[in-house]
Amino acid sequence: MPDMSTNSITELPFMKMHGLGNDFVVVDARANPVVITPALARGIGHRRFGVGFDQLAVIERGPGDAHLTFYNSDGSTSAACGNATRCIARWLMEESGNSELHLTTDRGDLFARDAGNGLTSVNMGQPQLLWHQIPLAEELDTLELPIEGAPTATGMGNPHCTFFVEDAEQVRLEEFGSRCEHHPLYPERTNVQVAHLVAPDRLRMRVWERGVGITLASGSSSCATAVAAARRGLTGRKVQIDLDGGSLWIDWRDDGVWMTGATKHVLSGVLTRDFLEGLT
C-alpha cells in the first residue's frame, strides 16, 4: 500500500462502485493502512489521467464493522457520503453474510441494512438544523436563508443549501451551483440542490456537490432536500427523490434519516506503481 509521505510506493488495489451514477473509488485499508494525501486523491479522481470519481472512500478498521473516510475529487475531505456508504455497506454485507452493519464515519455512527430486492438502506443520522451545526457564518433562521430564492440550510455531516424552484430542469446548474457553493454564509462551502415538487411524496432534484461539481446523484443531498421539504410543509417525512441517475427513497424517522436505493460494484483493479510515482 502506498504512503505518499514516503518513498515506499507500491501498487494500490481499489474498487469502482456507484449509486445511481454517483461514482466512487473505494480502497479497503483494513489489512494495510493507506495514507491519502490531497495529491493522491486528486490524481486518482482525474477522469482523464486517473480513474475518476465523485468521492474516494477508504475502509478502515473501526469500533463497529468498519470506519469510512471520504475525499472529494479536489482532494478535500467530507464527513459524510450517503451513496458511498450504501455501496460499501452492500459489499461488506456480501463479504460477511450479515444483513445489518454498524459503520463509523466522521459524521458519527451509521447503521446499514439489507432492504431486500437488491436495495440497501443506511441511517444517515439526525439532520443538523441549527446555524452553528451546519455551519453558517452567522446566526440565522435555517428554514429560509436571506439569499435570493430563500433556500433552506441543512447539515447531514456536511453542509447543504436547498432551493425549491418551479422547474429544476431549467436551472443552469453549472453556473448556479458553482456560485452558491462559495456563498459567504457557508464558511466550509456547501452542496447545492435545486428541487421541485412532483407529488406530495415525490421530488425531482438536481445536485451540485462541493469540491466535485454536478453529479448524477447524491445521498446526503437527497436526505437534506427531503428534510428541507418536510420542514417547509411541501411533503411529509417519507418521499421519493428522482435524480439524474435514478431514484432514492428517504424516510425521516425518529431515529434518523433513512436512505434506500440501488448500488453497483462495477470493477476491481490495481493502481500501478508507475501511476502512483507520478503523483509524488
Between CA 193 and CA 180 the distance in angstroms is 10
* Cis status, amide bond into 13, omega within 30 of 0: no
> Residue 280 has what pLDDT?
64
CB 5 within 8 A of CB 269: no
**Residue percentage of the chain with pLDDT more than 70:** 96
Between CA 154 and CA 257 the distance in angstroms is 12
Model confidence band, residue 95 (pLDDT cutoffs 50, 70, 90): very high
97 belongs to an annotated ligand binding site: no
CA within 13 Å, CB half, 187:
9
Model confidence band, residue 4 (pLDDT cutoffs 50, 70, 90): very low
- The string of pLDDT tens digits covering residues 228-256 is 999 999 999 999 999 999 999 999 999 99
CB 119 within 8 A of CB 89: no
Is 223 tagged catalytic?
Answer: no
Whole-prediction pTM value?
0.92
- The string of pLDDT tens digits covering residues 19-63 is 999 999 999 999 999 999 999 999 999 999 999 999 999 999 988
DSSP single-letter state for residue 127: P
> Of these residues, 81, 161, 180, 223, which one is catalytic?
81
CB burial of residue 63 (10 Å; 0-12, 13-18, 19+):
exposed
> Residue 10 has what pLDDT?
84
- Which run of H or E residues covers position 225? helix 219-231
- The string of DSSP letters for 18-82 reads EETTEEEEEEE-SSS--BPPHHHHHHHH-TTTS---SEEEEEE--SSSEEEEEEETTS-EES--H
